[in-house]
Amino acid sequence: MQVSAEKQREMLWTMLLSRRFEDELMELCKVEGKIPGMMILSTGQEAVGSGACAALEPEDVIITNHRSHNHLLAKGADPNVLMAEIYCKRTGCNKGKSGTLHLAVPEVNAPCTSTVVGAGPPIAVGQAFAQQYKGEQRVTVCFFGDGAAAEGSVHEAMNLAALWRLPVIFICENNVYAGAQRYEEHAPNPSMADRAAAYAMSGVAVDGNDALAVYHVVRKARERALAGEGPSLIECKTYRCRGHGEADPQHYQPKEEICAWQEKCPIPRLRDDLISQGVLTAADYQEMEGRAETIVMEAVRFAEDSPYPSPEEALEDVFA
Amino acid sequence: MQKLGMGQAINQALREEMRRDPNVFLAGEGVGVSIHLNPMFPTHGLLEEFGPGRIKDTPVSEAAIAGLAVGAAEAGLRPVVEIMFNPFFTLASDMIVNHAAKLRYLSGGKSAFPLVVRMKSGAGIGAGCQHSHNLEAWAAHCPGLKVVMPATSADAKGLLKSAIRDDNPVIFIEHMGLYFAPMPVPEDEYTTPIGKAEVKRPGKDVTVVTWSGMLGVGLAAAEKLAQEGVDVEIVDLRTLVPLDKETVLASVAKTGRLVVLHEATRTGGFGGEVAAVVMEEGFHNLKAPLRRVTGPDIPVPASPPLERFYIPSDEQLIAAIKEIL
Ligand SMILES: Cc1ncc(C[n+]2csc(CCOP(=O)(O)OP(=O)(O)O)c2C)c(N)n1
């Protein structure tokens, strides 16, 4: 299947934007008192969210987890309101209730970020059920980690989704670590994709640092889902280049391993590919970098200029 | 006397009990190799001393961790398991609520489940409501579970040692805000009894019953009120179940006034239980209606001004005390 130059540039763009966005966060969270809470980044893993979301239509739903910034930006969330929420400001997408961890952006069909590990898949099943129930031509994608795959909720969700042939795509972002535990210390089967067989659903593993490869498998899974062929499990093999969060000194992660994976960075990879295909020039790329810089700096300015919510606003939004 | 943060005090308790009893083992996410390379954290360095046979890093599987504790405890071991944050108790709760708490009863008293579930809790870290949610009242509502919530490093150490030696399931909730504040801890071997409250500050005008992270708020309010000539007595429950009614009732008998202070949300909170006990058994001693100072009935928000609004303050406590003086 040929992917249009425009689509490919879109993937490169959203990867670049999230990298720039998160690089800025990395610096900002070093400044005392600027950004509350934890800071969890997806540096090096951008091909997963960007490849997957490029394969979706705006009406498709994504459910994400604690490592969500790239997923949300790739789904089209407004960087200003995301940044403002990360700053815990009133203008943030969740009025400061969430902060960086549970960003919900229903406007772009990204209604739920759960930071309870493994909670995404059952919720995605509910979304997909509603899509099937209403006879809609849309699917739900659920991003979760290799660590999350150990939770019973993930198995239960897959079983139900397969049984009812729900239009859900489970994307396991296998970034080798769950907290400080390496994959082989928490999962006995080296292949996460193998699990699909247990539920008689489609399961494939892809190079999670290759945005195009991710795009292709997600597009195919989407077609299968819409054709009534049920859910898919896609394992994207990638790597967590930074710590679990920014407070993590990565003492258990071999330096050489980090360096080796940094060499496989998905951004220059797609850029060089596009340049060699002749659909991108070095100047185009420079322009993209400049645009990402402008957007991120504008988001930071927007967030900094925004007010905090007033204390009593804490009481709002408990009930509908 | 040594000065330790609560995390270090817990670390000492775990170390000493593991040296004492080979049946004690730890399990949980990152209890061995943790992202926190930080000696202030409770399980720091234990893997080095006790090895991977006794310090079990688990997958992210709260139900399995809790089930492991239930099964292993019935089989004669003494598991101390960690559920990383109090809200994730919900994932472990079938094993704890429906099994750990009930299986002794179901066996007609033939089995015992000597296990400890340690959990971090508390607002103040800016992480939002999926990490900060105090659920002690849930655990306390479940017969068969003991519930311990220390407020000082010394109590944490002594109470955890008692919890590990206890033949019942004990829910042990640690406020994260206390991990880093150095507090005196005795050097010699000691245990602190489960089920005994402690008067942390004697006073004669009003009783404040509190526990865990709110002790500091209570003491701060008492200091301020002392300057105005109001003498506040602070009772730290330390253990919610079993509840030390005697100490609470004796204090209320002395002061004639009661405010219950806790960080958890108000409705159905454990403060209601304390209030009810005093109404039933100490009403005749009350000179004024009792008051509760608690978190409002909302999930803990992330934004700093909202989170500060959530956490009960010494000003709120002072206002409540003045209402009933
Ligand atoms: C139910 C639950 N248990 C524990 C945690 C603490 N925790 C947050 S992230 C994480 C590791 C998750 O690993 P993985 O799913 O592989 O995602 P990654 O962080 O690698 O992207 C853990 C244990 C949590 N948030 N929720």
For residue B314 the two structure tokens come to 């010494």
**Per-residue model confidence as pLDDT tens digits over A82-115:** 999 999 999 999 999 999 999 999 999 999 999 9
Asked if the peptide bond before residue B242 counts as cis, ω within 30 degrees of 0, the response is yes
pLDDT category at A2 given cuts 50, 70, 90 is confident
**E strand or H helix at A140:** strand A140-145
Smallest Cβ–Cβ distance between A314 and the set B30, B127, B298 belongs to: B298
ipTM, interface predicted TM-score of the complex: 0.96
Q: How far is it, in rounded angstroms, from Cα B316 to Cα B323?
A: 11
Q: What letter would DSSP give residue B187? A: S
For residue B162 the two structure tokens come to 């008692």
Q: By the CB < 8 Å criterion, does B67 face chain A?
A: no
Contacts for B267 with CB less than 8 Å, ≥ 6 apart: B297
Q: Which chain B residues are closer than 8 Å to A309 by Cβ? A: 303, 305-306
Q: How far is it, in rounded angstroms, from Cα B171 to Cα B163?
A: 9
Using the structure block, give the residue that is written with the tokens 């805000």: B177
Q: Do A318 and B297 touch (CB under 8 A)?
A: yes
**Per-residue model confidence as pLDDT tens digits over B185-212:** 999 999 999 999 999 999 999 999 999 9
Residue type, A186: H
Residue type, B102: K
Contacts for B143 with CB less than 8 Å, ≥ 6 apart: B101, B105
Do residues A235 and A191 lie in contact, with contact meaning Cβ atoms separated by under 8 Å? yes
**Per-residue model confidence as pLDDT tens digits over B226-256:** 999 999 999 999 999 999 999 999 999 999 9
Do residues B73 and B43 lie in contact, with contact meaning Cβ atoms separated by under 8 Å? no
Q: DSSP states of B40-99 as a string?
A: TSTTTTHHHHH-TTTEEE--S-HHHHHHHHHHHHHTT-EEEEEEEEGGGHHHHHIIIIII
pLDDT category at A206 given cuts 50, 70, 90 is very high
**Per-residue model confidence as pLDDT tens digits over A46-67:** 999 999 999 999 999 999 999 9
Q: Which chain B residues are closer than 8 Å to A153 by Cβ? A: 91
Q: What letter would DSSP give residue A46? A: H
Strands in B78-85's sheet, in edge-to-edge order, are B55-57, B24-28, B78-85, B116-121, B170-175, B146-148, B239-241
Q: Which of residues 116-155 of A touch B (CB under 8 A)?
A: 116-118, 147-148, 150-153
Average pLDDT value for residue range A64-86: 98
Q: Do B302 and A310 touch (CB under 8 A)?
A: no
Predicted pLDDT at A37: 87
Q: Which chain B residues are closer than 8 Å to A185 by Cβ? A: 57
Identify which of A53, A265, A65 has the alpha carbon closest to the alpha carbon of residue A178.
Answer: A65
The pTM (predicted TM-score) of the whole model is 0.97
Query: Of ligand 1's atoms, which has the minimum distance to the CA of residue A173?
Result: 21
Task: Residue B230: count other Cβ atoms within 10 Å of its Cβ.
Answer: 18
**Per-residue model confidence as pLDDT tens digits over A247-262:** 999 999 999 999 999 9
**Per-residue model confidence as pLDDT tens digits over A259-309:** 999 999 999 999 999 999 999 999 999 999 999 999 999 999 999 999 999
Helix axes B245-255, B270-282, angle to 10 degrees: 60
Q: How far is it, in rounded angstroms, from Cα A10 to Cα A13?
A: 5
Choose one of B33, B60, B93 to mutate for the ligand 1 pocket test, by most ligand atoms within 8 angstroms of C-beta. B60
Count the helices and strands in chain B (H runs, E runs).
12, 14
Instruction: Determine whether A1 is exposed, middle or buried from the number of CB atoms within 10 Å of its CB (0-12, 13-18, 19+).
Output: exposed
Using the structure block, give the residue that is written with the tokens 């004690």: B24
Q: Which of residues 203-242 of A touch B (CB under 8 A)?
A: none
Identify which of B147, B233, B225 has the alpha carbon closest to the alpha carbon of residue B198.
Answer: B233
Q: DSSP states of A68-89 as a string?
A: -HHHHHHTT--HHHHHHHHTT-
